[in-house]
A and B are shown apart, each in its own frame.
Chain A
């Protein structure tokens, strides 16, 4: 099952490697990973998307919480939260017909054109994972040359929202 984890960690070298190591040591792939500072420059938020079952996730979240420099680890899956991701999609569009089809999809998805050349268009799209995947699916038959995705960032809808496992115990 696809899961989104949100981790607050002290902003220091080596901490990301420690977090990622908990996944790689178990042979789990990380689907996306974003890291950036929070309001405090001493603290970074890591948003990590992976696939695994409940009991493994519970174990990983506990292990994350036990890490010396991790302030909080939350499994957002099953909690009300928002997710956003941005993607740049380079689409082949050498003909007028192709360009029109691309531009139609761009406006339907409230995406933006960020680069236009004789034979292609670079589209910027934002949304949750599903939304970006749908646009990719629709553009694919026209011809996507390259994709760059930021990976998911996420936030619980209200700070009071119950968390499956959170806070350091």
Chain B
């Protein structure tokens, strides 16, 4: 603590001092970093070089047979790629950037990972220790800037701490509620030498995230759920982070419970399952929003009652008692008070619940919940997701359905942010976890394409699609060069409505169609743009072309950009207007 007040510069470390343990090999900091990353099982790093990380890049060249470095075209892209890699694989993603502008460019990606609880380790170069605080060239206070948007961050002060810090960083990033960890490394430290030993234990006395919930509380929750007559499972990203999809399926089936996933939870429960009501919230299905509003017991697992999910809080599920399972205590009773708070990770707590269930639950549940299901089926029939298709113009919903048909529902799809994101959530029924990659908490335009690229690099043989808007794609389109350079097979589908569609929708509905700065007016020719980067470009303008363009594009090897011109002023429905309750949906 005292260091904050007397920030005297660290004394220069003497070389002799560092050569202590003769048993371990002595190496420079940059090499220690690479070796530590290898020990953590890192096979891929996404990054961008610069002065402060020159030593690290020099070592990366020597370790390239063990760690692949992917050169992005912008640091934001590198961090989104690392996030796509992490979301698709479940392993922490790693990004490496230089000091100053390299660090500031990566902040959007770090904040995005923080909001969506994605495990990342971001290594930032820093100016040499003795220059810190001197407004040195390319100096920024990286730990200061990233403190509020990281789970934890470090400023390295001694090369002898490096291996231990890397070890801690991976542990912190990937356990409990996952999140990004930044390690800021001054350039001089990457040149200093120390013996390399990888620590086998961690010293984190204040960090002990729980996995199992308190058993008495889980028991009480289970008996409540077993008595409920209008229960619903509301599930999210926490189920995916904890790899709890199988357990969730078993819980839902054994108790015959309706399930509604959040945007971040898409795929944690198979969308085509009869128990699945579709997504809830602002653009959720009528049945999901009605069911949660009328429920008597909400079983919320790995969710955080985000404002886009609950609508007006005072109107949210007035009759419901709430069981809330989350690994982060601060997520519980934050927006909506939980009657049965359970701190623990989703998978472990569902496992506990399953173990506590009486043997034959299916039949009694079916009988008890028959009237509830009848009501839910009525809601589904009354207002299913629907749109009016056309022979003249491609409807965006039809595009999503065609994409589903032609990928067999098996693709990993990363979306950007906007209308297309919501339509894909509604019309692409994800079958499994880690298939949907999207920016939920921060809502970062520019996320989709690099995130998809990170996933494609993790899984070179899988079908990976970036489903993006004409606006958002332009925020990180330069990563086409990265996609082509690494010979990926990524497919980019641009839902081109020639508008910043989601903002236009709000201006249409709430500002009397006074369109202010939402018409792109000048779009690049995306087909030629693809070709300029050495990729294939295709375009569909009419419904009759759509199937064949998608089919051809998906089957063409290499990077393919498909520019799909869709109806310009279509709106996403249902929609819960800002400030309204979930039952006050506008159906369109």
Contact = CB atoms under 8 A, between A and B. Distances in A.
Interface of A: 9-18, 21, 25, 35, 37, 44, 58-59, 62-63, 65-72, 168-169
Given A13-B3, A14-B155, A58-B333, A168 B144 contact: no
Contacts of B274: none
Given A14-B147, A18-B147, A58-B333, A68 B207 contact: yes
A69 B148 contact: no
B533 interface: no
A71 B206 contact: yes
Contacts of A14: 4, 143, 147, 153, 155
The 3 closest A-B pairs by CB, nearest first: A62-B330, A13-B3, A71-B206
Contact of A13 (B1, B204, B328): B1
B328 A66 contact: yes
A58 to B, nearest CB: 7
Contacts of B4: 13-14, 16-17
A24 to B, nearest CB: 9
Query: Which of A10, A35, A66, A168 is the most central at the interface, judged by chain B CB atoms within 10 Å of its CB?
Result: A66
Contacts of A12: 1, 3
B423 to A, nearest CB: 34
Contact of B205 (A17, A63, A71): A71
B147 A21 contact: yes
**Chain A interface main SS type:** mixed
Given A13-B4, A17-B147, A68-B152, A59 B334 contact: yes
Contacts of A37: 1
A61 to B, nearest CB: 9
B417 to A, nearest CB: 23
Nearest to A42: B205
Contacts of A9: 206
Contacts of B453: none
Contact of B343 (A25, A35, A72, A169): A169
Query: Which of B4, B143, B152, B329 is the most central at the interface, judged by chain A CB atoms within 10 Å of its CB?
Result: B329
Contacts of A11: 1
Interface string B302-337: 000000000000000000000000001110111000
Nearest to B208: A168
A97 B177 CA distance: 65
Interface in B159-194: 172, 176-177
A2 to B, nearest CB: 23
Nearest to B210: A169
B151 interface: yes
Contacts of B329: 62, 65-66, 169
A64 to B, nearest CB: 9
Interface string B180-223: 00000000000000000000000011111010000000000000
Interface size class of B (residues with CB under 8 A): 20 to 34
A55 to B, nearest CB: 8
B144 A35 contact: no
A70 B148 contact: no
A65 B329 CA distance: 9
Interface in B135-157: 143-144, 147-148, 151-153, 155
Contacts of A13: 1, 3-4, 155
Contacts of A21: 147-148
Contacts of A18: 147
Given A68-B151, A71-B206, A17 B328 contact: no
Contacts of A25: 148
Contacts of A63: 330
Given A62-B330, A63-B330, A68-B151, A17 B1 contact: no
A59 B335 CA distance: 10
Contact of A68 (B204, B210, B330): B204
Contacts of B1: 11-13, 15-16, 35, 37, 44
Contacts of A168: 206-208
Contacts of B147: 14, 17-18, 21
Nearest to A70: B206
Contacts of A71: 205-206
A63 B332 CA distance: 11
B324 to A, nearest CB: 13
Contacts of B176: 66
Nearest to A72: B206
A17 B330 contact: no
A60 B208 CA distance: 19
A165 B143 CA distance: 29
A62 B331 CA distance: 9
A136 B182 CA distance: 47
Contacts of B153: 14
A3 to B, nearest CB: 17
A146 B143 CA distance: 36
Contact of B330 (A15, A16, A35, A59): A59
A98 B152 CA distance: 55
A67 B152 CA distance: 8
A16 B4 CA distance: 8
B158 to A, nearest CB: 12
B66 to A, nearest CB: 29
Contacts of A17: 4, 144, 147
A125 B328 CA distance: 43
A16 B152 CA distance: 13
A62 B327 CA distance: 12
A157 B207 CA distance: 27
Contacts of B3: 12-13
27 contacts: A10-B205, A10-B206, A12-B1, A12-B3, A13-B1, A13-B3, A13-B4, A13-B155, A14-B143, A16-B4, A17-B144, A18-B147, A35-B1, A59-B334, A62-B329, A62-B330, A68-B151, A68-B152, A68-B206, A68-B207, A69-B207, A70-B206, A71-B205, A71-B206, A168-B208, A169-B329, A169-B343
Interface in B335-387: 343
A9 B206 CA distance: 8
Contacts of A10: 205-206
Contacts of A68: 151-152, 172, 204, 206-207
A113 B151 CA distance: 49
Given A13-B3, A66-B330, 7 more contacts: A10-B205, A12-B1, A17-B4, A62-B330, A67-B206, A68-B172, A69-B207
A42 B329 CA distance: 26
A19 B229 CA distance: 44
A17 to B, nearest CB: 6
